Amino acid sequence: MASSPVAAGEEVYRVTTLELFFDLVFVFAVTQLSHVLVKELNPLGLLQVVLMFGVLWWMYAGYAWLTNTLAPTTAARRLLILVGMGGFFMVALATPTAFKGGGVLWGIGYLVLVLAHVTLYMQGNPNILRVLPANLLAAVLIISAGVLDHGAPVYVLWTLALIVPIVQPYIVPAGGLFTIQPAHIVERHGLLVMITIGESVIAVGAGAEHAHLDAGLVVAVLLGLALAAAVWWSYFARDDARAEESLTAADDVRRTQMTMFGYFYAHIPLIVGIIVAAAGMGQAVGHAWDHLHLGPALALAGGIALYLAGDVAFRRTMRIGASRIRLAAAVVALALTPLGLWSAVAEIAALVLLLTAALALEHVTTRPDAPAPGLGQSSGD
Alpha-carbon distance values, 339 to 200, 290, 291, 332 (Å): 20, 11, 9, 12
Q: For residue 320, which of 237, 245, 268, 263 has the smallest C-alpha distance?
A: 245
CA neighbours closer than 13 Å in the CB half-sphere of residue 352: 18
Sequence letter at residue 309? A
What is the pTM for the complete model shown? 0.83
Please state, in angstroms and rounded to a whole number, the distance separating the CA atoms of residues 8 and 218: 51
Distance CA 194, CA 368 (A): 23
Q: Give the C-alpha separation, 313 to 88, whole Å.
A: 28
Specify the CATH number of the domain 182-375: 1.20.1410
In a 3-state reduction of DSSP, which class is residue 213? coil
Three-class secondary structure of residue 10 per DSSP: coil
pLDDT per residue rounded down to tens, the chain (381 residues): 333 344 444 455 678 888 888 888 887 887 788 778 777 777 888 888 889 988 998 889 888 888 888 888 889 899 999 999 999 999 999 999 899 888 899 999 999 999 999 998 888 777 677 778 888 999 999 999 999 878 888 999 999 999 987 787 666 654 455 678 888 889 888 888 988 888 788 878 777 777 777 777 888 889 889 999 999 999 998 888 888 899 988 888 888 889 888 998 899 899 889 988 888 888 788 777 888 888 888 889 999 999 999 999 999 999 887 789 999 999 999 999 999 899 888 999 999 999 999 999 988 887 554 544 444 443 444
Report the run of H or E that residue 1 belongs to, with start and end. none
What whole-number distance in Å separates Cα of residue 63 and Cα of residue 101? Answer: 27
Question: Domain ranges in the chain?
Answer: 17-176, 182-375
How many Cβ atoms are within 10 Å of 126's Cβ, its own excluded?
10
| Half-sphere exposure (Cβ direction) of 65: Cα atoms closer than 13 Å | 25
Q: What is the 3-state secondary structure (H, E, C) of 313-350?
A: HHHHHHCCCCCHHHHHHHHHHHHCHHHHHHCHHHHHHH
Please choose, from the candidates 358, 10, 349, the residue with its C-alpha nearest in 3D space to the C-alpha of residue 184.
10
